[in-house]
Structure 1
């Protein structure tokens, strides 16, 4: 028996009603933002991510949900940017060294002995030149939303490091960075690119002789427990860029994007203050542990390290840009 015209009309109306209801329901679902990072929750980056989650829940909970995945639970820093471009993660904060395939300019932040302290870093990052770097990868599908501090880096090692000659022949874990590779080669050491999640085991088994990290990572990842010496060199910067995909970010409604950016800015400011507050605290905890000896360089010893590593600036001047290097160096108080 064929359906009547009335029955067909009723079926069409029901189908249309279901479609509209489903669309409305989907539109009402909050946007889920997966924030993937590689460090512990009690680090400055970990605290920043949790602060963002809290702020978004308070202000945008019915429209946006931030899910935080620390300790490489979703992706390591070597894979997270690819995952982001595939839409598998919406926020990340990789080390600035991880962006080499997207832009060479961010290698600036890996140059050894470029910044004398975090105040100089802040001055440069908030300058016009520093802010322009955040959007330098948009054509490659990535947008930077802010700079996040971890801190200035120290060397840890199986043998004491006081002068550059002490590093000769030693194997150091580095992030994937041509600048960091050149930095260790400048002192006749062997740089090995290894995932951050593997560093403790590599140190524990003596597969590598040392690594470089700020106090926060050295303490929270327990590197100090398997390294008898830490040289307080403050030789480099470990900072992160809070980053998202251009497709995701530009696809957000204008008002929601502005509100989310404000929450990110606030969380980054909070994370950077945590980095400053925690820096000396983590250092003191390492001292109190008695597990490792902290070597403080004399001005003369530090000058030797600077002299040995500063040629790396010139080596990467063409890729980074001499004007950019000069602008960063000028952020130091003495310039």
Structure 2
């Protein structure tokens, strides 16, 4: 299988039970996650060789983050140790009509405080086929916006394909700030996770009355013809714990859609988009057709909603079995 490099911040996640407000919590569930780390774990579960690059403090929390990655077979040869603290976030789990909410506590973390790239670029990208990063990383600081741009340039020098998930977070930066940085990054991207709202709010595509996702991708592709594949999910939220999900992939003028998945009840939504990204990248790297790829990726995302934590835990065989099932009878 392919050798893949992902880079980003891995964080400590502290979350409430569904029936408890964060302000009233007496105990919190502990997990570790982050967009690029979640993608790395899914791809390792799909039998790819995956390395995750980041920086964590040299303390028990940093070591716990490393062990979390090792549990799922992700290489940590490029996981640096140093700095003051591990970034964290608090998740108040919603239920029914009460939405989930996130509080970030990642300022001055080991990764955020990096002022230069502390890896050898030749070692980092040696024998790498794909580099994956998300828009969360350049949103962390002006320095990381510059370093993400430099990493993409270095990857391209070595003919490495680049996957980029826009992954806009309004708590980290504004639309104008993000749009300015994206204009410097997207010329290097081969595979891009972006939806209709990204096109309108970040990329300057004019909204039109026809709800035709393909036309938005075609307009973005005219600006950035280097992007070979766009992928995204279409989610309908009936309540916090009841969604429907359809996956889409666009390439070379054609839009591919998965079947509709009914997600109810949802155990944990966090990481669902990362599971979809990983499923899409698995299909592309495995040279599968797009009908299979969009079905596989959406099935992987749907399964992620059924388990607790940031990362997906399913193998290729388990995703394919779920993808092809006609009912939910007990498997025995």
Interval of TM-score (by shorter of Structure 1 and Structure 2) = under 0.3
Report which of the two has the higher share of strand.
2
Task: From the CA coordinates, give the structure whose radius of gyration is larger.
Answer: 1
More helix by share: 1
